[in-house]
Amino acid sequence: MSKPNIIQLSEFDITQKIIESLSNVCTRAVLFSVKNQSKDATQISEELKISLSTVYKILSTLEDIALAEVDKYIISPEGKKIKLYRSRIGKVEITLDDLEPSLNLYPNTTNPKSNS
């Protein structure tokens, strides 16, 4: 069974998916690691002391739910194309009102500098 895309998800479902993702400390750390500075997965892994495979999985999830994006590509000295990731959000507010979650996402207004 294929993953539903954002258009196929109801508003509550995407809100719930974002809240569930952000409840994970590693996901939050990765997301806010790339808030002020675009970084590649290896840089994030080394900085946060999280395995590279975990970082790639988190970045994939963050891209799927539109909280992170590939800011740009660089070419390594070996000629390999490397993605630099950037957070699309600068601030998150989650509130509960009558047991219904409310999610407010604020855009990332920082001008990221690549760390290459």
Q: Is residue 43 part of a domain?
A: yes
112 is a domain residue: no
Q: Which domain holds residue 58?
A: 10-107
Return the ∠ at Cα 12 (arms to 6 and 14), rounded to 5°.
30
Residue 24 resides in a domain: yes
- pLDDT tens per residue across span 7-52: 454 555 788 889 889 999 999 999 999 999 999 999 999 999 999 9
CATH of the domain at 59: 1.10.10.10
**Alpha-carbon distance 88 to 94, whole Å?**
17
What is the SS3 assignment for 45? Answer: helix
The model's pLDDT over 66-90, given as tens digits with 9 standing for 90+, comes to 999 999 999 989 999 999 999 999 9
The CA-based dihedral angle spanning residues 31, 58, 9, 5, taken in that order and rounded to the nearest 10 degrees: 110
Residue 64 DSSP class: H
Distance of alpha carbon 49 from alpha carbon 1, whole angstroms: 33
> Is residue 3 domain-resident?
no
| List of E strands, 1-116 | 68-75, 81-87, 89-97, 100-107
Domains in the chain: how many in total? Answer: 1
Residue 99 has pLDDT above 80, yes or no: no
Q: What is the pLDDT of residue 1?
A: 47
Q: What's the pTM value of the predicted model, to 2 decimals?
A: 0.79
pLDDT of residue 14: 81
